[in-house]
Amino acid sequence: MSTMKPLPDLAQTQEALQEIEKKYDERTRIAQTRQALEKNESIAQNKDVVKGYYKLLTGDNELAQMGAAKAWSKWEGQTSTLQPSNSVLSSFTEPHTAMSLSRIECHYFMNNSFLEENQILNNIDKISHIPGTIVQGRYDMVCPMESAYELYEAWPNAELDIIPDAGHSAAERGIVDALVRTTISYCEKFKKGA
């Protein structure tokens, strides 16, 4: 366990604006994902993948909405875990989950996560007195390692716990273990008044 700093899933929220584009560019390079995207001609022709999805997810054609939602969520499910997980993929592509997940994420990305560029890092002084632990999967393709490390470096009361055998999903064994250990640790500290 590395001693570095968490935000329950503020790691995802703190994603810097430039990373949103980077994240989707990297993820579209994954062969399986790219093939899924290219099956939808209107997205494949649109150089801005997020805008292409947004147009489909908010359009009037319900079949196109569901197709885009399932493709988005499949993509998300395939990149969230280090090892392929049929249960995660099945959960993410369930129609209601797919529609809500894809619309919420796409809406946030279309609006730069409702953050100004580097907003969290630029305002770290507002939380610098609060202890926190950043739990980061070593192979997280959703929230890049450099974001967690930049936050850790800027946040004086943070620890960074890099999980060597995990991606992004909070359901991965190593992430679950780290989150439970961290929660117990904070409960013990706060009971003692530390």
Whether residue 140 sits in one domain with residue 176: yes
Last residue of a domain, one of 88, 114, 140: 114
pLDDT score recorded for residue 48: 77
Per the domain annotation, does 25 fall within a domain?
Answer: yes
User: SS3 for 159?
Assistant: strand
- Across 8-18, b (16+ Cβ under 10 Å) vs e yields eeebbebbbee
Q: Give 3-state DSSP helix, strand, coil % of the chain, rounded to 5.
A: 60, 5, 30
- Distance between alpha carbon 35 and the CA centroid of its chain, in Å? 21
Per the domain annotation, does 1 fall within a domain?
Answer: no
Whether residue 102 sits in one domain with residue 42: yes
Q: Is 47 exposed, middle or buried (0-12, 13-18, 19+ CB in 10 A)?
A: exposed
State the Cα angle at 143 between 137 and 148, rounded to 5°: 70
Whether residue 32 sits in one domain with residue 109: yes
- % pLDDT > 70, the chain: 75
Last residue of a domain, one of 114, 138, 157: 114
pLDDT score recorded for residue 7: 41
User: SS3 for 131?
Assistant: coil
Average pLDDT for 53-78: 92
The model's pLDDT over 129-186, given as tens digits with 9 standing for 90+, comes to 999 999 999 999 888 899 999 999 999 999 999 999 999 999 999 999 999 999 999 9
Whether residue 101 sits in one domain with residue 29: yes
The model's pLDDT over 2-47, given as tens digits with 9 standing for 90+, comes to 454 444 344 444 444 455 555 555 554 444 444 555 555 555 555 5
pTM for this one?
0.72
Give the least confident one: 72-76, 104-108, 121-125.
Answer: 72-76
Whether residue 159 sits in one domain with residue 100: no
Average pLDDT, the chain: 82
Whether residue 148 sits in one domain with residue 109: no
Last residue of a domain, one of 53, 86, 114: 114
Whether residue 108 sits in one domain with residue 56: yes
Per the domain annotation, does 154 fall within a domain?
Answer: yes
**What is the rounded CA–CA span in Å between residue 164 and residue 162?**
6
Give how many domains the chain has, as a whole number: 2
Per the domain annotation, does 128 fall within a domain?
Answer: yes
Q: Which domain holds residue 87?
A: 17-114
Whether residue 64 sits in one domain with residue 88: yes
Whether residue 122 sits in one domain with residue 61: no
Whether residue 152 sits in one domain with residue 72: no
